[in-house]
Structure 1
Amino acid sequence: MQKHIYHKLLLLLFIAPLFAACTKNLGEYNLNPDAVGSVQPGFVFSNVLVNTSAMDMEPRTNYCHAFMQYGYSGFWSGTAYKSDDGIGSRNWSNFYGNTSTTSSVIKNLEYVISQIKDNPDLVNTYAAARIWRVFVYQKLTDFYGDIPYTQAGQALSQRIFTPEYDKQQDIYADFIKELRAAIAQLNDGAKGVQGDQFYAGAPAQWKKLANSLLLRIGMRLIKVDPAQAAALVKEAANGGVMQSNSDMPVLLHNVNIPNGFYFNLNDQQFNLHKTLVDHMKATKDPRLAIYGATYDKQVRDGGHLVSRDTSLYIGYSFNANDPLPTVYVSYEIFRPQNTPFFDFHYAQVEFLLAEAVLRGFITGDANAHYQKGVTAHMASLSQMPTAPSISQAQIDAYLVANPLTGTTDQQIEKINTEFWVSGFLFDADEVWANWRRTGYPKLTPNPTGQMPNIPRKIPYPLEEFSLNNINVTNALKAYNGVNDLSSRVWWDK
């Protein structure tokens, strides 16, 4: 009887968010009303993939866009390097859930993994879920450092309500183990990935994504373990990473399940930053006319587009004596509810490979990878609303004007500066991690900020000190007991 009640509780926890979750192939994943204890794994996994990019993106805009000098809004505490628990805790609750949520990405992900790990018929779905688990947890640990990992999401299955925090070094070691195991499990001859929102269930595509994540993880370790970094990068490249834009995990949102940035851009001003605008003007980057535009007034107040003449663009400046900003994010392209979300851009793979060649981790042509990265990103923008187009002639002209030349360090700087430019708007959190890893692009901190340097870690949510005090307090010991924006995560030492 207790087991029957428990299964009913599980269904109640999952059913509400799941009915609103899927944006395509919804009919394939149905809950059986006559089998209350059965929740189809594909339905739950689909929910996880959708909600990863449908969630509130305020922490990425308020903090990461501000830190990386992509833009400015009067709403953002991140511009002044001010810690704001109301913002910092939202990324935590978006993924983990909190006292006011009955479901979350991690709860659903851990649930589906526990339900299918011993089912040989769903081996590819299990492998894909393990891969996505790495993707999600890497975002969390790179944001906060040491986090609940081994015991996370186990409240229902194991009755663990106060999970211990794992060291980031141990989490990364498990990422590597999990990706290797998932890659080995993927089987083109078995049933495809159920609930797949990206690749129509194709295991081969998930293998490319897994190797691309392994590449990202390897490059993340260049400061703390360059030998392992080199070995992982070589392993990933040999295993087969993404090769084109068609390999990207792109979530196709709609008006029922909007892109997560819709909510932020719908009620905030978002000026482009002077650092970004001036750089793109100097390099004659055709993407600037896509990233921003001028309007007669704020769009939230009924403003309309005036011009995409980039010569008129003035970005937000830290210097109060500079002219007021005139350019805003391009709302027609980035704000619509059906704006697709690029979870992991193929261009980033090429930039990482280019850097890896220069560091001697792999052999190859760094310039070829650099050019592929630039080309891929510019071409990908045609998938956005209004289908903005950059011609091949424009791409070629940009590459001629911005060649990969100079010393090894200068080339690494150029590659990672391109990584930064291409990370607007979706990947500000990943760009922030990449900046902490490499130091590029070279950014001048806000001279009027509440701390002298650009933040490098997000504080733990204050709610954790009420709900999980012993474990979060133990975790803080790795950061000298200080819960602020100035600490560094393990790989950023």
Structure 2
Amino acid sequence: MKNRLNWKYAIGALCFLSMMYSCTSNFDEYNTNQYEATDEMLAGLIKIGAFFPTMQADVVPTSDVDANEFQRAQNLAGDIHSGYMAAIGTWNYGNNASQYNLAYDRWNDVAFSVAFRKVMPAWKEVKDKSREEYPEVFAVAEIIKVEAMHRITDIYGPLPYLKFGHGEITTPYDSQEVIYKSFFDDLDKAITTLKNYVANYPSSKPLKKYDMIYGGDFAKWITFANSLKLRLAMRLVYVEPKLAQQYAEEAVKSGVMQTNAENAFLKSNLGISVFNPLKICWDSYSDIRMGALMESFLVGYNDTRLPMYFQESALGGYHGARLGNSIYNKTAYEKLSSPNVMENTPVQWMVAAEMYFLRAEGAIRGWAMNGDAKKLYEDGIRTSFEQWKASLGSYLTNSTAKPAAFVAKAGSGSVSASNSLLPTITVPWVENDDFEVKLERILTQKWLAIYPDGQEAWTEFRRTGYPKVFPVLTNRNSSVIDTELQVRRLPFPQSEYDTNEEEVSKAIQLLGGNDNGGTKLWWDKKVRK
């Protein structure tokens, strides 16, 4: 990790905040009733509008002036544990999170810290200043909060969540079950509020000057909220299947994403330049490269998204690395394929392709998903290829293409074609396959489609066991983390033990196991055969 200031973001953010909080010559412009919002509402929004980009910037941590927060909260967590990428830094010669030394240098503190220092305080400001007077504005803040905080509970489990900001000296933790059920309540209320607002004011966009995702388009926020509800509903399938089905069917009926025009990305606008921190991780830091499993799938399937996802290696072709090598010198690893993410690449929250795969999974479970599994599965693939402007060709019908054997070009960990670690799943839909084969096929293509969001990919791997991610080469924590099952969560931050110890002790009881990387989360209940 090196220090590199993201000056474009910092300067843009300061200008934006200054604009929002100052009474300037632009005041009349903001008070102009251009979108059916009242003058009074627009004037009131000046006091709270800036908190929206503050929240949005750290759903995936991007607001740090360098990439250290993103690197530790996302890249050296979900991105590597999902199999998308391999850490090649020499931190402690590999004895770090990439080898399941999860306590190394307090990396596991960072996702928690970002959420509770940045996202939640901004949400509370919006709540306190808009919940009664501008419920439609608060509804959007609620959706953003759920999008941010489901990622955090899916990392740790219980969180000091529902009583955040209540003025207590210490904040009690809530179980993940309670947190998840509050998510659905919040989303349902937000969807209802926004639907009512859109029905009454169809062209109104009071958040147009503050919303970096959809430009204040409440109709798109409704679709996003339904899509998020579907994502979270599927999380419940092995712990509360009836509730999972209920929420999933409600979401689909209400309307989830269907086109790439509805995709949710954080990107430069509103005078703020968003610098994608993954660019720093692979370039300036030179700490991350393509994961071995990504190479196996993309090369084996002749997937034309490959050059969109990764850059050609210095060795020619596309090459990744296994996670968990002991790295004393990363020169050889630096020659491998880097993510094809540049400084202006939008930061991904959710894409429409994911919704088709979620609906396909619901369909094979017998749920009402407004389509049959085969069509939904294939539409998910088509939508992803369209998103990346890649040629589909014979991808859907090539029944001989399978994940390719992996030959390590740096470090160790080659996987031969006969090795049981190598997945054998093919792409074409086969109606007569049994349930688990269909599920693996859906989840494998979903894993490929939601790249580079490693946090969501890691969560879905934990939920379903698919795709079959290569296990870590060296497990420094084998006494508590099963190498085959792989890491299930991150331990609570040391900072919480330092400042909120009594409540952390209670949280461990809510967790239902020891505070380590081997304890499963509330929704992680699938029985592995």
Change (3 A) 1:222 1:117: same
RMSD: 2.7
Alignment partner, residue 369 of structure 1: 376
Counterpart secondary structure, 1:342: strand
CA–CA distance in structure 2, aligned partners of residues 206 and 410 of structure 1: 34
Q: How far apart are 1:295 and its partner, in Å?
A: 4.5
2:68 corresponds to 1:42: no
Normalising by the residue count of structure 2, what TM-score does the alignment of the two structures yield? 0.76
CA–CA distance in structure 2, aligned partners of residues 163 and 275 of structure 1: 41
Alignment partner, residue 344 of structure 2: 338
Counterpart secondary structure, 1:118: coil
CA–CA distance in structure 2, aligned partners of residues 74 and 284 of structure 1: 26
Q: Which one of the candidate residues 269, 274, 291 is aligned to 2:292?
A: 274
Alignment partner, residue 141 of structure 1: 153
2:93 corresponds to 1:93: no
2:207 corresponds to 1:180: no
Alignment partner, residue 292 of structure 1: 310
Query: Residue 154 of structure 2 aligns to which amino acid in structure 1?
Result: D
Q: How far apart are 1:20 and its partner, in Å?
A: 4.2
Contact 1:314 1:326 in 2 (8 A): no
Contact 1:150 1:166 in 2 (8 A): yes
Counterpart secondary structure, 2:395: helix
Alignment partner, residue 126 of structure 2: 112
CA–CA distance in structure 2, aligned partners of residues 476 and 417 of structure 1: 33
Alignment partner, residue 398 of structure 1: 395
Q: How far apart are 1:463 and its partner, in Å?
A: 1.0
Alignment partner, residue 328 of structure 1: 336
Change (3 A) 1:314 1:488: closer
Change (3 A) 1:327 1:346: farther
Counterpart secondary structure, 2:107: helix
CA–CA distance in structure 2, aligned partners of residues 314 and 30 of structure 1: 45
Q: Deviation digits for residues 276-319 of structure 1, max 9, x if unmatched?
A: 211222211112222223444xxxxxxxxx75x44xx3544768
Counterpart secondary structure, 2:387: helix
Q: How far apart are 1:268 and its partner, in Å?
A: 2.4
2:475 corresponds to 1:475: no
Counterpart secondary structure, 2:304: coil
Identity %: 25
2:475 corresponds to 1:485: no
Q: How far apart are 1:435 and its partner, in Å?
A: 0.9
Contact 1:193 1:200 in 2 (8 A): no
Alignment partner, residue 72 of structure 1: 86
After the TM superposition, which parts of structure 1 deviate over 4 Å for at least 4 consecutive aligned residues? 17-20, 26-29, 317-320, 324-327
Contact 2:233 2:248 in 1 (8 A): yes
Q: How far apart are 1:63 and its partner, in Å?
A: 2.0
Query: Residue 22 of structure 2 aligns to which amino acid in structure 1?
Result: N
CA–CA distance in structure 2, aligned partners of residues 351 and 412 of structure 1: 10
Contact 2:127 2:138 in 1 (8 A): yes
Alignment partner, residue 81 of structure 1: 100
CA–CA distance in structure 2, aligned partners of residues 236 and 327 of structure 1: 45
Contact 1:314 1:327 in 2 (8 A): no
Q: How far apart are 1:201 and its partner, in Å?
A: 1.3
Query: Pairwise mapping of residues 36-435 of structure 1 onto structure 2 (< 5 A)?
Result: 40-53=47-60, 54-55=62-63, 56-58=69-71, 59-75=73-89, 77-84=96-103, 86-97=106-117, 104-119=118-133, 122-152=134-164, 154=165, 158-186=166-194, 187-188=197-198, 189-190=200-201, 191-194=204-207, 195-253=210-268, 256-265=273-282, 266-296=284-314, 307=316, 309-310=317-318, 313=319, 315-316=321-322, 328-330=336-338, 333-334=340-341, 336-363=342-369, 364-381=371-388, 389-390=389-390, 394-401=391-398, 402-405=427-430, 406-425=433-452, 427-435=453-461
2:503 corresponds to 1:442: no
Paired residues in the alignment total: 434
Q: How far apart are 1:185 and its partner, in Å?
A: 0.2
Change (3 A) 1:198 1:128: same
Contact 2:231 2:358 in 1 (8 A): yes
Change (3 A) 1:326 1:287: farther
Contact 2:99 2:323 in 1 (8 A): no
Query: Residue 21 of structure 2 aligns to which amino acid in structure 1?
Result: L
Alignment partner, residue 455 of structure 1: 487
CA–CA distance in structure 2, aligned partners of residues 369 and 68 of structure 1: 24
In terms of fraction of residues, the more helix-rich structure is 1
CA–CA distance in structure 2, aligned partners of residues 370 and 38 of structure 1: 42
Contact 2:257 2:352 in 1 (8 A): yes
Q: How far apart are 1:475 and its partner, in Å?
A: 0.4
